Structures are given as C-alpha cells and as structure tokens.
C-alpha cells in the first residue's frame, strides 16, 4: 500500500464508495438514499483512487457564487498521513478560486482533532466573535 500510486479523478463518489469512506472514518450512521441525493446536488466532487479503488474523496456544496462549503473530505485510515488529504483540499480550494468572481465565503466543519489540518489552509476559528453552528433536523412524522 505504501508505494501504490494514487490518482485524483474529478467525479462524484458512487454511493458505495461514499459509504465505505464515510464509515471508515467513523462519521456515524449512513443514509444511502439521502446521500445519493446529496452527492447529485454537489457543485464539485473528486475521488482519490489507488488500483481502481476509492481511498479518498472530497466535495463542495453551496450556491456556486458566493458561498462554498467543503464537505466529506475523507481518506481511508491506512492511507492517512500520505498527504492525500492535502491534495484533496488543495484541489477543492483551487476549484473555488477558479469559480468565484469575487470574494467568497468558504466554510467547513472539521472533525474533532482535525482543526490544525485545516488551519494550514487558512481556515480559522472565529469565536467568540463568530460561532459555527448547525442544526440537525429529523424528517417530520405524520400525526
């Protein structure tokens, strides 16, 4: 594995690849139907392959003009520490740089313990002046 070449391919991960990487990095329960729709609505996606198998991924969601969110940057644990995550993030940021016509807001949520990785790209914790927040909404049930 250490010397196997990798290739970055500009395409969305398949649902199977997405699930494999999602579960490998411990992101919790996978919802295939919702994930497929989400992947289809991405602005830009890429998959890192080694010997034809997905070993990493990353994507961008947003409005395609002013607001961009980096999502699903994941690398199989056995491939971590080989600068694959850096290559993914560099390519995602290059896409945004080449797409936006002016200043753009680029956001992300870093998994716990991964904050320093993203700080190397210029992402900053803006608290207490600004706080990243999110709400998880469950599907409404009929009464």
Q: Confirm if 106 and 61 have CB atoms less than 8 A apart.
A: no
Question: DSSP H helical segments within the chain, as ranges?
Answer: 15-24, 32-40, 84-99, 115-119
CA distance 8 to 41: 20
Considering the candidates 44, 79, 95, 118, report the single residue annotated as catalytic.
118
Q: Check if 79 is active-site.
A: no
Of the candidates 16, 14, 42, 19, the one whose C-alpha atom is nearest the C-alpha of residue 29 is: 19
Distances 119 to 73, 83, 122 between C-alpha atoms, Å: 15, 15, 5
Sign of CA dihedral 22, 23, 24, 26: positive
Catalytic annotation, residues: 118
């Amino acid at each position: 594995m250490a010397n196997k070449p990798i290739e970055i391919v500009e395409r969305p991960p398949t649902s199977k690849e997405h699930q494999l990487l999602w579960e490998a990095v411990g992101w919790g329960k996978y919802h295939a139907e919702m994930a497929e729709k989400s992947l289809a609505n991405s602005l830009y996606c890429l998959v890192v392959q080694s010997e034809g198998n997905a070993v990493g991924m990353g994507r961008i969601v947003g409005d395609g003009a002013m607001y961009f969110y980096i999502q699903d940057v994941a690398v199989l644990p056995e491939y971590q520490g080989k600068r694959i995550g850096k290559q993914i993030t560099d390519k995602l940021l290059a896409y945004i740089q080449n797409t936006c016509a002016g200043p753009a807001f680029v956001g992300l949520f870093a998994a716990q313990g991964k904050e320093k990785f993203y700080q190397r790209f210029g992402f900053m914790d803006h608290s207490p002046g600004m706080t990243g927040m999110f709400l998880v909404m469950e599907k409404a049930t009929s009464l």
